[in-house]
Amino acid sequence: MAAYWLMKTEPTTFGIDHLRERGIEPWDGVRNYQARNMIRDQMQPGDGALIYHSNCTVPAIVGLARIRSAAYPDPTAFDPDSRYYDPASTPERPRWYVVDVAYERHLPRPLPLAELRTYPELEGMALLRRGNRLSITPISPNHWEFLLELAGAV
């Protein structure tokens, strides 16, 4: 059974339009252990993902993607020229992982964070919790369906 995820990204760094242009891209640079554990231990090919633009004028869920690979070591952690380089991570003992993510589509309309906060149906959604800073969070099947309906994507 597929799982569902919300994946935060900054649109000026790597947003939904970048993913559309590339088609499939490794979701690299995650440097939080809790998010890393979800990538490494829980994400599976076929899982659905909501792409969420953060750190922008109107933070919002903007598109859909699909997890296309099992987790594998993040090669940026081994590259001294990468901003994500981690000298403690080695190919023999990787610390960080990625999954390949495939673009599916933009939502018919973005779902702004401020609007999401108004729906009692989304109670318990990690994105809406105060202080949540994780770049990857699980989405329940009920929240997934509600969000797709809300965006006009079903």
Q: What averages of pLDDT result for each successive group of 10 residues across the chain (154 residues)?
A: 92 96 96 96 98 96 98 97 96 97 98 97 94 90 97 92
Beta strands 24-26 and 100-112 are antiparallel
Please report, for the chain, the start and end positions of each structural domain, with discontinuous segments joined by +.
4-151
In the chain, the DSSP E strands lie at: 4-9, 24-26, 48-53, 60-67, 72-73, 97-98, 100-112, 136-139
The CATH architecture to which 4-151 belongs is Roll (3.10)
Instruction: For 27-56, give the DSSP string.
Output: ------HHHHHHHHHT--TT-EEEEEE-SS
Let me know: does 66 contact 102? Beta carbons within 8 Å: yes
Beta bridge partners of 112: 60
Q: What is the pLDDT of residue 1?
A: 66
Residue 51: the pLDDT is 98
Count of residues making up the chain = 154
Q: What is the pLDDT of residue 102?
A: 98
Q: What's the CA gap between 96 and 77, in Å, rounded?
A: 7
Sign of CA dihedral 9, 13, 65, 116: positive
